[in-house]
Amino acid sequence: MASKANPFTFLQQVRSEVAKVTWPTRKETFISTIMVLIMVVFAAAFFFLADQALGFIVGYIMSAGR
């Protein structure tokens, strides 16, 4: 069974691990954000067009039986 951890020791370990992290620069963060926004717009447009096309196809098939 694991022994109970000392909260102060834990916080010291967390602090030392956070110090090892390589944080992105402001420019890298900005560029990544813009890239994500562009990809979201492309994905939204793709799914909108796919939905419209499939809706048209299903509507055509459903109306063909009348």
- In angstroms, the Cα distances linking 57 to 44, 47, 48, 61 are 20, 15, 14, 6
Give the pLDDT band (50/70/90) at residue 64. confident
Rounded average pLDDT over 36-62: 97
pLDDT above 80 for 4: no
Q: What is the pTM of this model?
A: 0.66
Q: What is the DSSP string of the chain?
A: -PPPPPHHHHHHHHHHHHHH--PPPHHHHHHHHHHHHHHHHHHHHHHHHHHHHHHHHHHHHHHHT-
Confidence of residue 20 (pLDDT cuts 50, 70, 90): very high
